Chain A
Amino acid sequence: GAGVSQSPSNKVTEKGKDVELRCDPISGHTALYWYRQSLGQGLEFLIYFQGNSAPDKSGLPSDRFSAERTGGSVSTLTIQRTQQEDSAVYLCASTQSPLSTDTQYFGPGTRLTVL
């Protein structure tokens, strides 16, 4: 079956512009995670959605970052007033259940470049 998909695959934007990144999780997966991978850095947890519960936003780096998940499926990560330090690959992952032992399936990522 289809895996996690993300769009766009690449996004180049100018400093100060807003961007929206989309994630389509695997159908039926209840948990969805967003991560950021900066050049030469590890994966940084941003936000976690579980079903219709309020998301865990503890990893969002600033109030310019927000995310929503509509209908318990598709998720959008929005970055307002982008800065050059926001340049990174943004990865989305989904799991079938919220249990920590469940396998996370990652999408291919969106490479964001802020000029």
Chain B
Amino acid sequence: QQQVKQSPQSLIVQKGGISIINCAYENTAFDYFPWYQQFPGKGPALLIAIRPDVSEKKEGRFTISFNKSAKQFSLHIMDSQPGDSATYFCAASTWNDMRFGAGTRLTVKP
């Protein structure tokens, strides 16, 4: 079953714009919510992560917003750059299990 739902499937943004990717989860036992960035031919790499006791986390141009009551979290990429073009996966995990969203293919046009 799909425990983490991610949208949109694909996203096209102009350079300098804001990219927003949303995820929703079902299992309230999840206690860690990472985002991974994957370039073609590479494995996913951790981008930024948040725990449910925090509503927002910012690292450079990347921000996670977390809404525990709604069981939703999102990734915002400010001032999007062509080099950000990749597939982004949200995930939710407990200590022994990690569930991923289906991924969002982001294209940033120059």
Shortest CB-to-CB span from B49 to chain A, Å, is: 7
- Decide if A96 is an interface residue (CB 8 Å cutoff): no
Contact, CB under 8 Å: A101 / B51? yes
Within 8 Å by CB of A43, from B45, B49, B89, lies: B89
For A42, A91, A99, which residue has the most chain B Cβ atoms within 10 angstroms? A42
Within 8 Å by CB of B98, from A50, A99, A104, lies: A104
- Decide if B57 is an interface residue (CB 8 Å cutoff): no
Q: Which residue of A lies closest to B102 (CB)?
A: A42
| A99–B43 CA distance with the chains assembled, in angstroms | 21
Shortest CB-to-CB span from B102 to chain A, Å, is: 4
Query: Would you give the 0/1 interface string for A89-102, flagging 1 where the beta carbon is closer than 8 Å to chain B?
Result: 00101000011110
Chain A contact surface mostly: loop
Q: A45 with B43: in contact, given A100-B93, A101-B49, A101-B51 (CB under 8 Å)?
A: no
Contact, CB under 8 Å: A109 / B43? yes
Count A-B contacts at CB 8 Å. 61
| A4–B45 CA distance with the chains assembled, in angstroms | 12
Q: A42 with B96: in contact, given A4-B43, A100-B32, A106-B44 (CB under 8 Å)?
A: no
Contact, CB under 8 Å: B95 / A108? no
- Chain A contacts with B in 26-69, Cβ cutoff 8 A: 33, 35, 41-45, 48, 50, 56, 58-59
How many residues of chain A get a CB closer than 8 Å to chain B's CBs? 25
- Decide if A84 is an interface residue (CB 8 Å cutoff): no
Within 8 Å by CB of A45, from B42, B44, B97, lies: B97
For B45, B51, B96, which residue has the most chain A Cβ atoms within 10 angstroms? B96
**Residues of A contacting B101 with CB < 8 Å?**
42
**Residues of A contacting B97 with CB < 8 Å?**
45, 48, 56, 58-59
**Residues of B contacting A107 with CB < 8 Å?**
43
Query: Would you give the 0/1 interface string for B82-105, flagging 1 where the beta carbon is closer than 8 Å to chain A?
Result: 000000010101111111111100
| A41–B11 CA distance with the chains assembled, in angstroms | 16
- Decide if B60 is an interface residue (CB 8 Å cutoff): no
| A103–B36 CA distance with the chains assembled, in angstroms | 10
